[in-house]
């Protein structure tokens, strides 16, 4: 039987193949844009000789596979080319904007872990009584509402009617200045010894993170609830109950763990869709993150930036899924066994 390490290595190997495929798709996609990429990059007023020089330098005159070779050779070294919007290397842009998104996604990813489990367990404990009905009804409504609509609702409610939380204007109130160490504003503020700034950064973070996390929280709560209920009917629970083990001990030790594993597997996929939905949420809340940058790049047909960001998202998505799989394997011996076959 191969060890956990072997399984992980094999997964990583496949991940490389998948990423290579993704890079080919996104590269050819961005090269079939109607129009001349060199012209698009330099603008209409630049004389033709300079455009031609630029074309020569960027290998735009070569056939597509050769262009791809030059591009991927750069990507491997971390060079995604230059963004035509910010006029800087894409890798530099990514470095600058990724931390704001990371902070947002981390919060939006952590929040569901607590609330989804709490609501799911509550729903299962009060099955078919009013708390369960309330949670189920609100989860239906919340899941049916697109994330960007939540962002707009929150902007309206908290930004104008009930101004207790900052809703626009980035990550910090003017006046605070936090030196960047990790890039995560809250952490940086603590490192610098400014708890007030950390609190302020947290307040700025809470609305966009909540908008991102809400639908996933309810989705995961539903899954937790249904697995709790399914496992509750199993023989081993009946047996422990008949032996007189207290209810809360059963819930904690025997029911929660097997019911939570499917939820954790879903969370991997959810992190990905949190990243995707961050596109609009960041734009609505004016959050200076990578998704807002990417949306600008997509709308402005900034070829190198789009390719770079899509590749980055692909890497993050694949790594998250492998990580989640490992966690599930550690928690559940059955998954461990089936994966190693």
Q: Among residue numbers 124 through 153, which ones bind another protein (CB under 8 A)? A: 140-141, 143-149, 152-153
Interface with another protein, residue 21, by CB under 8 A: yes
Residue 134 half-sphere exposure toward CB, CA atoms < 13 A: 6
By CB under 8 A, name the one of 18, 50, 181, 330 that touches another protein: 18
Treating both helix axes as pointing N-terminal to C-terminal, what angle do 333-340 and 303-331 enclose, rounded to 10 degrees? 120
Interface with another protein, residue 331, by CB under 8 A: no
By CB under 8 A, name the one of 6, 16, 29, 239 that touches another protein: 29
By CB under 8 A, name the one of 156, 196, 249, 330 that touches another protein: 156
Q: Which of 290, 274, 341 is nearest to 1 (CA)?
A: 341
By CB under 8 A, name the one of 4, 6, 12, 33 that touches another protein: 33
Q: Is 240 exposed, middle or buried (0-12, 13-18, 19+ CB in 10 A)?
A: middle
Q: Which of 106, 62, 109, 86 is nearest to 308 (CA)?
A: 86
Name the 3-class secondary structure at 82: strand
Q: Which of 295, 298, 271 is nearest to 283 (CA)?
A: 295
By CB under 8 A, name the one of 86, 194, 206, 273 that touches another protein: 273
Alpha-carbon distance of 297 to 46, in angstroms, equals 22
Phi, psi (rounded to 5 degrees) for 177? -135, 125
Interface with another protein, residue 118, by CB under 8 A: no
The angle formed by the CA atoms of residues 162, 166 and 167, to the nearest 5 degrees, is 85
By CB under 8 A, name the one of 27, 254, 275, 293 that touches another protein: 275
Name the 3-class secondary structure at 89: strand
Q: Smallest gap, in angstroms, from Cβ of residue 83 to another protein?
A: 15
Q: Smallest gap, in angstroms, from Cβ of residue 279 to another protein?
A: 7
Q: Smallest gap, in angstroms, from Cβ of residue 138 to another protein?
A: 12
Secondary structure tally for the chain: helices H, strands E: 15, 0
Interface with another protein, residue 17, by CB under 8 A: yes
Interface with another protein, residue 64, by CB under 8 A: no
User: Cα 59 to chain center, whole Å?
Assistant: 34
Interface with another protein, residue 320, by CB under 8 A: no
By CB under 8 A, name the one of 3, 76, 161, 246 that touches another protein: 161
Per-residue tokens: 329: 């394997």
First to last CA, the chain: 8
By CB under 8 A, name the one of 32, 76, 164, 174 that touches another protein: 32
By CB under 8 A, name the one of 11, 127, 301, 336 that touches another protein: 301
Nearest residue (CB) to another protein, 25 versus 330 = 25
User: Cα 77 to chain center, whole Å?
Assistant: 24
Q: Which residues bind another protein (CB under 8 A)?
A: 14, 17-19, 21-22, 25-26, 29-30, 32-33, 140-141, 143-149, 152-153, 155-156, 159-161, 272-273, 275-277, 279-280, 284, 294-295, 298-299, 301, 306, 310, 313-314, 317-318
């Amino acid at each position: 039987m191969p060890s956990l390490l072997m399984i992980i290595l094999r997964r990583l190997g496949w991940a490389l193949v998948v990423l290579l495929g993704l890079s080919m798709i996104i590269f050819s996609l961005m090269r079939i844009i109607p129009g001349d990429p060199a012209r698009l990059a330099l603008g209409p007023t630049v004389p033709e000789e300079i455009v031609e020089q630029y074309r020569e330098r960027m290998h735009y005159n070569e056939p597509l596979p050769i262009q791809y070779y030059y591009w991927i050779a750069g990507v491997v070294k971390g060079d995604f080319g230059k963004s035509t919007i910010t006029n800087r290397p894409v890798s530099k842009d990514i470095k600058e904007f990724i931390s704001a998104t990371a902070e947002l996604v981390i919060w939006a990813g952590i929040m569901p872990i607590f609330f989804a489990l709490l609501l799911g367990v509550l729903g299962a404990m009060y099955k078919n009584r009013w708390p369960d009905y309330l949670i189920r009804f609100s989860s239906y409504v919340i899941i049916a509402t697109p994330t960007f609509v939540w962002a707009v609702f929150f902007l309206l409610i908290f930004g104008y009617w009930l101004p207790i939380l900052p809703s626009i204007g980035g990550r910090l109130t003017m006046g605070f200045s936090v030196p960047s160490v990790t890039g995560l504003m809250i952490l940086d503020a603590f490192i610098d010894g400014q708890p007030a700034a950390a609190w302020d950064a947290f307040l700025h973070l809470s609305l966009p993170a909540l908008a991102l996390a809400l639908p996933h929280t309810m989705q995961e709560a539903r899954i937790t609830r249904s697995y709790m209920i399914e496992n509750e009917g199993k023989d081993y629970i009946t047996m422990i109950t008949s032996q007189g083990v207290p209810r809360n001990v059963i819930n904690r030790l025997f029911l929660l763990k097997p019911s939570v594993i499917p939820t954790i597997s879903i969370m991997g996929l959810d992190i990905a869709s949190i990243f995707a939905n961050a596109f609009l949420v960041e734009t609505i809340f004016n959050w200076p993150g990578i998704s807002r940058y990417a949306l600008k790049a997509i709308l402005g047909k900034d070829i190198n930036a789009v390719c770079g960001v899509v590749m980055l998202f692909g890497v993050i998505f694949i790594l998250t899924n492998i990580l989640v799989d490992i966690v599930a394997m550690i928690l559940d011996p059955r998954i461990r066994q089936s994966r190693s076959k």
